[in-house]
């Protein structure tokens, strides 16, 4: 019998075609939602490989149900949705998709920064709703980006790519990272210093026990009342209630969020009620070419693992 691969969400035909030649590929039927946890547990009982989405929580319950499982390929660069200790315990390797999403995510980060600063979504809605009556000297006035100070929390590949875009806008670039980097025209700053000096604070750090809740009431209170917070990393890094209070009371000027602690974000979430928040549905890497490249990395990892070859992009 052919080894079995289970994919937790429907992917494009071109992403799975090569695997289907050598393996039995089983796939969730919907391309908009991922398989529920109980379905994943059911399917992994026979699976040799699991191709997971960022929205899937792959924990000890999943690994306990999967005696044949050799690999979990995660369609993301982050892997906080996977219990790595449980994976190691059960002898299952885990892979991710680094590098190929750097430029697309940096593009989206800067687009979200610009949209937040210049109130793009709010202004667009005013046109469509008929609220735009005439030109006004301060109508839809936002924050200037060119020449402003950009503070980047998490200076990995994506952080460097965002910094390059900021330099193109003549911005002064600060960064905070666990380790200092040798970067041209970019200055290291302590977290408090970065928050105090930056006009735009961009979060690009992974979600870990160290970074969970990293930006809370105290940190937000250090920011300028004209500053914007941009989060394209993970929702759990920011205390969302503290952010809501800071925005509502105008302690900071605006926020652009591509990620939330709970996704999809509930429609009654307080942050969605604020006009000075620009929100997106976690689309950081959602460029067609990038997503297909990510899928190709996952497919390659699965194929290499099942054929007993060296596997790239292992995280455990």
Does the pLDDT of residue 221 top 90, yes or no?
A: yes
> Of these residues, 282, 291, 300, 303, which one is catalytic?
282
Question: What is the average per-residue pLDDT within 213-227?
Answer: 98
Does the pLDDT of residue 173 top 90, yes or no?
A: yes
Q: Taking the CA atoms of the chain, what radius of gyration do you get in angstroms?
A: 21
What percent of the chain clears pLDDT 70, i.e. is strictly above it?
100
What percent of the chain clears pLDDT 90, i.e. is strictly above it?
98
Does the pLDDT of residue 183 top 90, yes or no?
A: no
Tokens of 263: 């996704």
Q: What was the pLDDT predicted at 11?
A: 98
**The 3-state secondary structure of the chain, one letter per residue:** CCCEEEECCCCCHHHHHHHHHHCEEEECCCCCCCCCHHHHHHHCCCCCEEEECCCCCECHHHHHCCCCCCEEEECCCCCCCECHHHHHHCCCEEECCCCCCHHHHHHHHHHHHHHHHCCHHHHHHHHHHCCCCCCCCCCCCCCCCCCCEEEEECCCHHHHHHHHHHHHCCCEEEEECCCCCCCCCEEECCHHHHHHHCCEEEECCCCCCCCCCCECHHHHHHCCCCCEEEECCCHHHECHHHHHHHHHCCCCCEEEECCCCCCCCCCCCHHHHCCCEEECCCCCCCCHHHHHHHHHHHHHHHHHHHCCCCCCCECC
Distance CA 262, CA 36 (A): 15
- Residue 263 a catalytic site member: yes
Residues 6+ away with beta carbon under 8 Å from 244: 270, 271, 274
Question: What is the average per-residue pLDDT within 75-90?
Answer: 96
Its sign, for the CA torsion 122, 123, 129, 134, is positive
Question: What is the average per-residue pLDDT within 13-20?
Answer: 97
- Residue 234 a catalytic site member: yes
Q: What was the pLDDT predicted at 184?
A: 86
Does the pLDDT of residue 182 top 90, yes or no?
A: no
Q: What was the pLDDT predicted at 14?
A: 97
pLDDT digits (tens, 9 = 90+) for 107-159: 999 999 999 999 999 999 999 999 999 999 999 999 999 999 999 999 999 99
Under 8 Å between Cβ of 250 and 225: yes
Tokens of 143: 């924050």
Residues 6+ away with beta carbon under 8 Å from 171: 145, 146, 147, 148, 149, 150
> Of these residues, 119, 234, 291, 303, which one is catalytic?
234
Distance CA 230, CA 201 (A): 6
On whether the pTM is more than 0.85, the answer is yes
65, 87, 315 from 312: Cα distances, Å: 26, 17, 9
Q: What is the mean pLDDT of the chain?
A: 97
Candidates 271, 252, 258; CA nearest to 230 is 258
- Residue 218 a catalytic site member: no
Distance CA 105, CA 107 (A): 5
Q: What was the pLDDT predicted at 266?
A: 97
Q: What was the pLDDT predicted at 216?
A: 98
Count of CB atoms situated within 10 Å of the CB of 308: 8
């Amino acid at each position: 019998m052919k080894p079995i691969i289970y994919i937790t969400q429907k992917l494009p035909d071109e992403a799975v075609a090569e695997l289907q030649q050598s393996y039995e590929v089983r796939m969730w039927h919907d391309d908009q939602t991922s398989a529920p946890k109980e379905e994943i547990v059911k399917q992994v009982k026979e699976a040799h490989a699991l191709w997971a989405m960022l929205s899937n929580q792959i924990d000890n319950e999943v690994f306990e149900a999967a005696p044949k499982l050799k690999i979990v390929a995660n369609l993301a660069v982050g892997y906080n949705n996977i219990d790595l200790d449980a994976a190691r315990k059960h002898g299952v390797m885990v892979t991710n998709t680094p590098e190929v999403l750097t430029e697309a995510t940096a593009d989206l980060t800067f687009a979200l920064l610009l949209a937040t600063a210049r109130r793009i979504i709010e202004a667009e809605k005013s046109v469509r709703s008929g609220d735009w009556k005439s030109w006004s000297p301060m109508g839809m006035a936002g924050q200037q980006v060119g020449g402003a100070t950009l503070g980047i929390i998490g200076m990995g590949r994506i952080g460097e790519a965002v910094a390059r875009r900021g330099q193109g806008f003549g911005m002064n670039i600060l960064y905070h990272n666990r380790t200092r980097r040798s970067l041209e025209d970019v200055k290291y700053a302590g977290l408090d210093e970065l928050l105090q000096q930056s006009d735009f604070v961009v979060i690009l750090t992974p979600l870990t026990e160290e970074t969970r809740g990293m930006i809370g009431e105290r940190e937000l209170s250090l920011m300028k009342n004209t500053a914007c917070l941009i989060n394209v990393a993970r929702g759990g890094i920011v205390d969302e209630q503290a952010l809501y209070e800071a925005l509502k009371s105008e302690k900071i000027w605006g926020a652009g969020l591509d990620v939330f602690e709970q996704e999809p974000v509930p429609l009654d979430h307080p942050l969605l009620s604020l006009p000075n928040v620009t929100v997106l549905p976690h689309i950081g890497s959602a460029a067609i070419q990038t997503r297909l490249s990510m899928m190709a990395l996952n497919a390659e990892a699965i194929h290499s693992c099942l054929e007993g070859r060296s596997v790239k992009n292992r995280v455990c």
